[in-house]
Amino acid sequence: MFFSGKFLNIIFFLMLFVCTTTGKSQNQDGTISNIADNWLRSKELANAGIGISVIDNSNGATLIKSEPQISLVPASIMKVVTTATAMEVLGPDFRFITSLSYTGIIRNDTLFGDLQIIGGGDPTLGSSYFPETINFQQEWIKVLQQSNIKFITGNLIIDAGIYESQMIPGSWVWEDLGNYYGAGASGISVYDNLYEIHLKSPEIADQPTQIVKIVPEIPNLELHNEVRSSDINSDQAYVFGSPEDSRRVIRGTIPKGKADFVVKASMPDPSALLAGEFRKKLLANGISISGKTSYEKAKNKGSVLAETLSPPLREIIRLTNFESINLFAEHLLKHLAWQENGLGTTKEGCKFLIRFWKDKGLDMSGFFANDGSGLSRFNAMTASHLTWILNYMATKSQHSDVFYETLPTSGEGTMTVFSTESFPRGSLRAKSGSMTRVRCYAGYLKTTSGKSLSFTVMLNNFSCSQADAVRKIQELLMVFIAI
């Protein structure tokens, strides 16, 4: 059955206001009209905000878009904006640098001066996502040994001043702050700025659990455990605590009968952890340091002993989009601000995003940025904003191929819920975004006729389940592929 472009727009406009939670087949003959009819019978999107935008990359023509284009919460598809901007500004081969340096002089086996760790905003230092970075401290020890340094008379200076001291965006909600996905960006970040709480639960439900160990050990951590065992076989435990506050409460439930159940939490102060660990490693390797640990801006870079480089930006962005790593995205946002004015702050990073894309010709009316990862519910943008940026990256960026590869395809990363049968490898590359009553997707489609499309689908405040929302979006994207 053939539909004119005008009729297609009408059909898709009607589809914006309905969703179904039934298990019945909704596309018996594969036509758009049947999908629209079935969706129209449901009420679950009656009060929802929905945005759709599809652009043909070959000519920039808008194939379909919902009208009016309203500003919606994007959740993690905000990372598309952040990573695309970072790719354009910093380039795919950019690397963050953490420096080990000293002030004063080295005479015989003694450093008469301070030892300095100067952060460069690297989010991958000791990261579990990049195993090759794990041994960075031992590499620093090796450099000190090669310089025959056994005694240090001064202080250990920890300089994380490349970014603001406030690690967490002010608009993040309380229940996110203490958990692993709520880890904030620091000028010195280490081990993904998270730690593991290992818990033991009894065989009976609704009983107190026991903390077995914490990895790594967090200096001065006060962790109050209120977690209980449960018949629910999933992690329902949450950590609560303010940034830079060592007091934490863990509440909720974990499955019963577990000898070692791991709950991940955000680190209060990564600089303090690194300082404590490194001082221990110095002592264990026969290097003594007389002074105190001082957290301050280094007066000068001093003489560089070692520079630890992050993996290339293309790899960081790929992990950011594949695994939806909030920490990496927040680092990118702050680093864009630092590149601009010499201090990495969330506020200035958000301003930079808006200014950058406005200068490229995008109308930023209705675009509101409050972080780089999408964890803030104060973010808002239209579907057309995202699709325009995706189209730009596909058709105008000199890094288009690299950026395209940073988005997962069906069956990969956060796109594992998309069937590879419905979306064969290579036909779909996209970033997902989800939080309570929010489900969004933005990326690229290759149609059966050979067209390359940029698309965005945003659902806010629906009352059907997340699974149903995902299924409806999949069905919609399958229609696009058939164009």
Q: Are 199 and 275 in contact (CB under 8 A)?
A: no
Burial of residue 61 (CB within 10 Å: 0-12, 13-18, 19+) is exposed
What CA–CA distance (Å, rounded) separates 363 from 186?
Answer: 32
CATH number listed for the domain at residues 96-310? 3.50.80.20
pLDDT at 475: 86
- For residue range 432-469, list pLDDT tens digits in order: 999 999 999 999 999 988 899 999 999 999 999 999 99
pLDDT at 259: 97
Share of the chain above pLDDT 70, in %: 91
pLDDT at 43: 80
Q: Is the pLDDT of residue 308 over 80?
A: yes
Q: Are 462 and 19 in contact (CB under 8 A)?
A: yes
Close Cβ partners of 481 (under 8 Å, ≥ 6 residues apart): 423, 427, 428, 445, 446, 447, 448
Q: Are 481 and 448 in contact (CB under 8 A)?
A: yes
- For residue range 251-287, list pLDDT tens digits in order: 999 999 999 999 999 999 999 999 999 999 999 999 9
Q: Bridge-partner residues for 112, per DSSP? A: 105
Stretch 74-103: mean pLDDT, rounded? 98
Alpha-carbon torsion angle 422, 423, 425, 431, nearest 10:
-140
pLDDT at 7: 36
Helix H or strand E encompassing 392? helix 383-395
Stretch 57-79: mean pLDDT, rounded? 94
pLDDT at 3: 34
DSSP strands (E only) in 171-209: 194-200
Q: Chain centroid to CA 19: how far?
A: 29
Of residues 422 and 312, more confidence is placed in 312
**Domains in the chain: boundaries:** 5-92+314-481, 96-310
Q: Which residue in 470, 180, 456, 459 sits closest to 325, CA to CA?
A: 180
CA distances from 213 to 48, 129, 228, 341 (A): 44, 22, 17, 42
Q: Which residue in 403, 465, 453, 464 sits closest to 478, CA to CA?
A: 453
- For residue range 312-329, list pLDDT tens digits in order: 999 999 999 999 999 999
Q: Is the pLDDT of residue 32 over 90?
A: no
Mean pLDDT is lowest, of 62-66, 113-117, 322-326, 379-383, for 62-66
φ/ψ of residue 414, rounded to 5: -75, 0
Q: Is the pLDDT of residue 208 over 50?
A: yes
For 94: left if phi > 0, alpha if psi spans -120 to 50, otherwise beta; the answer is beta
Q: Which of the given ranges, 52-56, 311-315, 426-430, has the highest pLDDT on average?
A: 311-315
Count of C-beta atoms within a 10 Å radius of residue 139: 12
| 5-92+314-481 and 96-310: identical CATH topology | no
- For residue range 96-121, list pLDDT tens digits in order: 999 999 999 999 999 999 999 999 99
Q: Quick one: fold of 5-92+314-481?
A: Beta-lactamase (3.40.710)
Q: Are 34 and 28 in contact (CB under 8 A)?
A: yes
pLDDT at 126: 97
State the chain's mean pLDDT as an integer.
Answer: 90
